[in-house]
Amino acid sequence: MSERASVSPKTAEPTTDQPTDERMDEEQPSEDTRAERKPVTTGAESVVRALENAGVEYAFGVQGGAIMPVYDALYDSDIRHITMAHEQGASHAADAYGIVSGEPGVCLATSGPGATNLVTGIADADMDSDPMIALTGQVPTGMVGNDAFQETDTTGVTTPITKANIFASDSDRVGDDVGEAFALAGTGRPGPTLVDLPKDVTLGETAQEPGEARTPDTYTVQERADEGTVQRAARRIEESSKPIMLLGGGVIKGDATEEVRSFAIEHDIPVVTTMPGIGSFPEDHELAMEMAGMHGTGYANMAITHCDTLIGVGTRFDDRLTGGIETFAPDAEVIHIDIDPAEISKNIHAEYPLVGDAATVIEQLAAEVRESPQATKWRAQCQQWKSDYSMAYKTPDDEPLKPEFVVEALDEATSDRAIVTTGVGQHQMWACQYWTYTEPRTWVSSHGLGTMGYGFPAAIGARLAADDDQEVIAIEGDGSFLMTIQELSVAVREKMDITVAVLNNEYIGMVRQWQDAFFEGRHSASEYNWCPEFDKLAEAFGARGFRIDDYDEVADTIQAALEYDGPSVIDVHIDPQANVYPMVPSGGDNGQFALTEDQL
Amino acid sequence: MTGGLEGPAPEERPKPAGRRNELGIRIDPEAEAARPHRRTVISALVVHEPGVLSDVSGLFSRRQFNIESLTVGPTETDEQARITLVVEESDPGIEQIKKQLRKLIPVIAVRELEPDAMRRELALVKVNATRPDQVAAVADMYGGKTVDASPETATIEVTGAQQKIDAAIEAFSQFGIREISRTGTTALARGTDDTATKGAQADDYQSEITHTVPADDD
């Protein structure tokens, strides 16, 4: 386990009731039992022991033939296993658990279809660099390669989508394999790791306790950036008259939120975030320009387009952020801070590459920058853009309910520490744009992979990682929610306090929006007017169902859903024609964002 | 009414001047420079364990790197193997290849070899042996060795730089080539220069290395 990750799993400001203390109290008895724990006798027990040593509290999964020995060993463990309705749900729940807690989330599945069902969630975690462990059952080693029942080459399938994967071949070593997977998932640039567990290896006898979890010797992480480059970058910042900080998901994963906040505020540098970077800077702060990119705010995109110095932290310059590379930040010299050297100059050439841990490098930079940039005019310009391109929508009574209004109402009804999870589509963009995020690890979404169906299982993982007083709100779309709606049964069984708001327009809305703009309005396969009534479906699952059709129902219904102690689903019937703006067409110029359909 | 926001239309907005050209496109010396592909040799020292080769080749295929040849074999240390890659890519592509290779967990060290590195390939060429004396003469010319002979065929082993083997094959073609098997290039740095050893990260991502066209060695 990396030092950073184990020090502070939650970066949200601790409240008076000190959740960390509670957690330590809970851990106390398990420390005692650990002292008197029975020695391991099988590979499977060694696997579970490695999980316990890593401090795992929850594991998400589905039982099955090849993974049965591990589940049998879990039976005697304090680790709480959450049986999911589908393995995809397990992988998303583990992913979200990792995002919210900062510790790798764990998911389990059996061989073959169990393992392949995890694949979407693993790929999702890989794209977003989320720490995650996947443990998969495998047919006995003697049958591997023979197309045995429920056999899949799981390490082969997952090689391109994992940070590392291990085929466990030895009962004596399997505990260490799991420990290594843990260490790798949480160290350096986080990511998903997988251990494939053949049944004979987990059934096999061993007295070998897993050793200390550590990364292989070949794995090295550079923590501190090159001093010379830091100095050059510092000079550039001092001389800059139009600086911008661009904060990516790496700021949150590297627990660098406090460092970047104080750096930006001390030097009065306006801040733009990427979508995974949401929460790294308080959006209600004067310097906040909020999210940039395809559906970013107009002012964020104007600021990026006109800046002369771009300080990118923990971002990989995804094409949804940059638009066309050749028109991205055309005047800017780029300072790029990233722990992964391969991200430097991959998409955007960095004049000042700073490889290292985000918090460490920002501190190095802070020590070196002696004068704040002279940027009074620039900040005024940024404020001007904020008023020129303010995020607004029309809400006359005679118009159908606007989704933006619903998102704002949810935000208003909940605390600053409330966690939002989303699926993928228009609802996700409205949740980015109209919710004001102020804390890290409160925004949980599928960014890089763009996985529809992510939001609800993610809410389950987030719920378990969150403090009891943190609300968990899943903002879903009708199409997205339908993809993993079976996980509602899990939330009901576990009595999880999750509020789902389905922004229901009876369309795959984002596709509809693109079809209107770029495919002459031919709505090929994007009309979902066969959607169920989600409130009634929720009741059938044993959850509470609500429905909103108009403005005057919004506040009261949201209140009732939030007050219900258990999963509740609000079927929100929004304006079916509502679209997401601003919008930069794919590969377009960020400064030329469209504010209406006519400008596309 | 499909929604929309207020604010100045795109044509009313200021445009950055500085590094844009008259078409409004970023002028970035790095990004704008022509990117000719060049051929180079990359040596990777890896942990000798199953699956490494598939990790490396999988990396190349899914990232769409243009790979010319890939050879692998054990080294002086039992636990380590050396993978030699010949790639044809632009400079940024070659940088990415090195960085992405380094990210693979079983990879110990990666280095792009200097143009003067020793680069060798082995080929077995099976030709028709209707004129055995002439076959032997051509083989001799390229330092080849006849490793198998039958009344109808002769198989010659040739080693050397890729260009030499190409030339040898060209010369053998007059007899009628029945089959060819080539290994791909393997390479080592010259003299005391370490090819790719743990700790020796010769071309770090931050250093600016100047590349020259590899000399046709041998």
Judged by DSSP in three states, A83 sits in strand
Beta-bridge partner residues of A336: A312, A353
Q: Identify the pLDDT of residue A2.
A: 40
Higher-scoring residue by pLDDT: A198, B196: A198
Q: Identify the pLDDT of residue B35.
A: 76
Q: Identify the pLDDT of residue B198.
A: 58
A371 in the Ramachandran plot: left (φ > 0), alpha (ψ -120 to 50) or beta?
A: beta
Instruction: Give rounded-to-5 percent helix, strand, coil for chain B.
Output: 25, 30, 45
Give yes or no for a contact between A64 and A199, defined as CB atoms under 8 angstroms apart: no
Selected catalytic residue, list A10, A45, A163, A199: A199
Beta-bridge partner residues of B44: B83, B110
Q: Which residues of B touch A592 (CB under 8 A)?
A: 10, 13
Q: Identify the pLDDT of residue A484.
A: 98
Q: Identify the pLDDT of residue B36.
A: 86
Give yes or no for a contact between A478 and A510, defined as CB atoms under 8 angstroms apart: no
Check CB contact of A159 with chain B, cutoff 8 Å.
yes
The yes-or-no answer on residue A510 being catalytic is yes
Judged by DSSP in three states, B66 sits in coil
Distance in angstroms (rounded) separating the CA atoms of residues A305 and B28? 14
Closest CA to A270 of A245, A249, A292: A245
Beta-bridge partner residues of A158: none
Q: Identify the pLDDT of residue A600.
A: 87
**Residue of chain B minimizing CA distance to A576:** B2
Q: What angle do CA B119, B125, B130 make, to 5 degrees?
A: 145
Does A595 sit within 8 Å of B9, measured CB to CB? yes
| In chain B, residues 171-200 whose CB comes closer than 8 Å to chain A | 198
How many Cα atoms are found within 13 Å in the side-chain-facing hemisphere of B21? 8
**Span B16-31, average pLDDT:** 68
Handedness of CA B45, B47, B53, B59 (dihedral sign): negative
Question: Residue A456 contacts by C-beta under 8 Å, 6 or more apart in sequence?
Answer: A89, A421, A423, A474, A476, A481, A484, A485, A487, A488, A491, A498, A500
Judged by DSSP in three states, A258 sits in helix
Distance in angstroms (rounded) separating the CA atoms of residues B56 and B69? 12
Using CA atoms in the order A14, A15, A17, A18, what is the torsion angle rounded to 10 degrees? 0
**Residue of chain A minimizing CA distance to B62:** A160
Q: Identify the pLDDT of residue B29.
A: 64
The yes-or-no answer on residue A539 being catalytic is no
Q: Which residues of B touch A596 (CB under 8 A)?
A: 3-5
Handedness of CA B59, B62, B63, B68 (dihedral sign): positive
Does A331 sit within 8 Å of B47, measured CB to CB? no
| In chain A, residues 509-528 whose CB comes closer than 8 Å to chain B | 513, 516
Token readout for A582 is: 């601003």
Q: Identify the pLDDT of residue A35.
A: 53
Check CB contact of A325 with chain B, cutoff 8 Å.
yes
Q: Closest partner residue to B96 among A305, A342, A402, by Cβ?
A: A342
**Residue of chain A minimizing CA distance to B206:** A353
Whether the pLDDT of residue B211 is over 90: the answer is no
Beta-bridge partner residues of A266: none
Residue A594 DSSP code: B
Give the CA distances from residue A516 to residues A251, A298, A426, A510, A523, in Å, rounded to whole numbers and listed in that order: 36, 21, 14, 10, 8
Give yes or no for a contact between A34 and A55, defined as CB atoms under 8 angstroms apart: no
Query: What is the count of residue pairs from A and B with beta carbons less than 8 Å apart?
Result: 128
What is chain B's mean pLDDT, rounded? Answer: 86
Does A345 sit within 8 Å of B30, measured CB to CB? yes
Closest CA to A477 of A519, A508, A520: A508
The yes-or-no answer on residue A150 being catalytic is yes
Q: What pLDDT band is residue B193 in, cutting at 50, 70 and 90?
A: confident
**Could you list the mean pLDDT of each consecutive 10-residue stretch along chain A, which spans 600 residues?**
39 43 46 68 98 98 98 97 98 98 98 98 98 98 96 97 97 98 97 98 97 94 97 98 98 98 98 98 98 98 97 97 92 96 93 97 98 98 97 85 97 98 98 98 98 98 97 98 98 98 97 96 96 98 97 97 98 96 95 93
Alpha helical stretches, state H, A204-341: 227-239, 249-253, 257-266, 298-306, 319-322
Check CB contact of B74 with chain A, cutoff 8 Å.
no
Give yes or no for a contact between A309 and A243, defined as CB atoms under 8 angstroms apart: yes
Q: What does the longest C-alpha to C-alpha distance in chain A come to?
A: 72
Q: Which residues of A touch B1 (CB under 8 A)?
A: 399, 577
Higher-scoring residue by pLDDT: B55, A7: B55
Q: Which residues of A touch B99 (CB under 8 A)?
A: 341-342, 344
- Name the packing angle between helices B162-172 and B132-141 (round to 10°): 160
Higher-scoring residue by pLDDT: B20, A212: A212
The yes-or-no answer on residue A87 being catalytic is yes
Token readout for A348 is: 């955007």
Whether the pLDDT of residue B204 is over 90: the answer is no
